[in-house]
Amino acid sequence: MEIKQDKNLIAYVTTTDNDSLNELKLKTIREYGVMDENIIREYVGTRQSCRKNIEIVKNLLDSEKTIVLYDFHDLGGSYKTILYELKSINKTQAKLVIINNSITLGSEKYSLKTQIIIWETLIKIIEMLKTHEQYELLKKQNDGRKQTAKKLGRRSFKVNEEFISYCVRWKHKEITIEEVLAHFDIKRATLYNYAKELRTKGLL
């Protein structure tokens, strides 16, 4: 079947080291009716690479033209970049067609302005999810630090009969201060403070 070509269709195609994907993109765009001389290509390597030729495409656009993309990621590697480019294309008054529309936002179903609103909403949702994930991660980290601190901290100490007994034996030099400290896992200052209280109460 003969493909009807349209001179008002301008395609922007990003290519990578994946030859089979590159061939698929070009074949699909040609079958859509874009003339070879109106296909502007750019090797990007990765999604995050800078896209310079997209500026050439935008300079060719007007209300009579339609820019054809294989998918949204030809515009950029991040949602914010894609949204920025959509807004730039919208200013040219050109139409937009996404052939491989993986998230069902094709311009043949939605206007470009509607797509911009959808992308703005999508970005807000993504940012909200990221904020929530960061909050949950920080919460888990803080909870983990608290649990670790509890495990590493000294056990709570209460004066009991055993402690009084040890203090009496320490007073009479039956045991050393080091033995008392080690047995109750307390510091010297703590032992002296409690011993002072015991003496005040006449228990030592």
pLDDT along the chain (204 residues), means of 10: 84 90 92 93 74 87 90 83 87 86 51 74 71 73 64 64 84 86 87 85 75
Give the SS3 label for residue 68. strand
Residue-level pLDDT at 1: 59
Distance between CA atoms of residues 194 and 48, nearest Å: 66
Predicted pLDDT of residue 150: 53
Question: Strand 9-15 vs strand 95-98: parallel, antiparallel, or unpaired?
Answer: unpaired
Cβ 11 vs Cβ 40: under 8 Å: yes
> What is the pTM for the complete model shown?
0.54
pLDDT at 10: 94
Q: What share of the chain is helix, strand, coil (3-state, %, to 5)?
A: 55, 10, 35
- What pLDDT does 34 receive? 94
Burial classification of residue 107, based on how many CB atoms lie within 10 Å of its CB (0-12 exposed, 13-18 middle, 19 or more buried): buried
Distances (CA, A) of 64 to 30, 58, 67: 19, 13, 10
Cα–Cα–Cα angle for 6, 10, 11, nearest 5°? 120
Max alpha carbon distance in the chain (Å)?
111
Is the Cα dihedral 72, 74, 75, 78 positive or negative? positive
Render 104-128 in DSSP notation, one character per residue. Answer: S--TTTS-HHHHHHHHHHHHHHHHH
Q: Say how many Å lie between the first and final Cα of the chain, rounded.
A: 108
- pLDDT for 147 equals 63
Q: What is the pLDDT of residues 142-175, one digit of tens each?
A: 776 666 555 545 556 778 888 888 888 888 888 8
